[in-house]
Amino acid sequence: MANPDDERNGVARDEAEAAVRTLLRWAGEDPSREGLLDTPKRVVDAYGDWFSGYGDDPRAYLERTFEEVAGYDEMIVLRDIQFESHCEHHMAPIIGRAHVGYLPDGKVVGISKLARVVEAYARRFQVQEKMTAQIAAVIEDVLKPRGVGVVVEASHECMTTRGVHKRGVSMVTSKMLGGFRDDARTRQEFLRFIGDPRG
Ligand SMILES: [Zn+2]
């Protein structure tokens, strides 16, 4: 049995598990049959993992920077950052990858930190457009680079497994700030680095 004192964001664990049992009953199942006995517990554990981003501060990942980079001021790109998120409309998985680039202005961040930032936003209920903008905004805000580019490509299971049932489609969103927005050559260089046909 779950510890009844175990709560998260003001919701008791028992209450969260009861909600899963309600959905199982609603779908036509008997939550008391053997194969489903531990399912509410597993689902709540999985939610703890999938939505850990709410307890994460993306700004904090960007606050430790390196300034001794021998004057390096060219574009830095981390591409193919795989992520799993969930759409806020259906709570269904969004599976995709993000490409993040910036033009440093003296301050450079450890490359793994960009992946952490993507993860902190992905592990929440999301809208792809919003997530793309959030990643770009926090990099601009904390690192104050000369430009930021974020491209996100993802498939949405609310579209592939229900509704219009279109498999193999992915949605591409991008947010360009500073030099990535104003300078076509910078933007193209970024798009070329990430293998985007627009580059
Ligand atoms: Zn959806």
87 annotated ligand-binding residue: yes
Q: Looking at the predicted structure, is the pLDDT value of residue 171 above 80?
A: yes
- DSSP states of 103-115 as a string? E-SS-EE-HHHHH
CA 197 – ligand 1 centroid, Å: 27
CA 140 – ligand 1 centroid, Å: 28
165 annotated ligand-binding residue: no
**In which band, very low, low, confident or very high, does the pLDDT at 5 lie, cut at 50, 70 and 90?**
low
Is 88 an annotated catalytic residue?
A: yes
Catalytic residue chosen out of the listed positions 90, 140, 153, 188: 90
Average pLDDT value for residue range 134-144 = 97
SS3 70: coil
What pLDDT score was predicted for residue 166?
80
What pLDDT score was predicted for residue 4?
52
CA 160 – ligand 1 centroid, Å: 10
What pLDDT score was predicted for residue 163?
79
Query: Distance (Å, rounded) from C-alpha 57 to C-alpha 91?
Result: 22
Q: Looking at the predicted structure, is the pLDDT value of residue 1 above 60?
A: no
What pLDDT score was predicted for residue 107?
87
- DSSP states of 120-171 as a string? HHHSSEE-HHHHHHHHHHHHHHHH--SEEEEEEEEEEHHHHSSTT--TT--E
Average pLDDT value for residue range 27-51 = 97
Residue pLDDT, tens place only, 46-102: 999 999 999 999 999 999 887 777 777 899 999 999 999 999 999 999 999 999 999
Is 156 an annotated catalytic residue?
A: yes
Catalytic residue chosen out of the listed positions 7, 15, 88, 129: 88
Residue pLDDT, tens place only, 112-124: 999 999 999 999 9
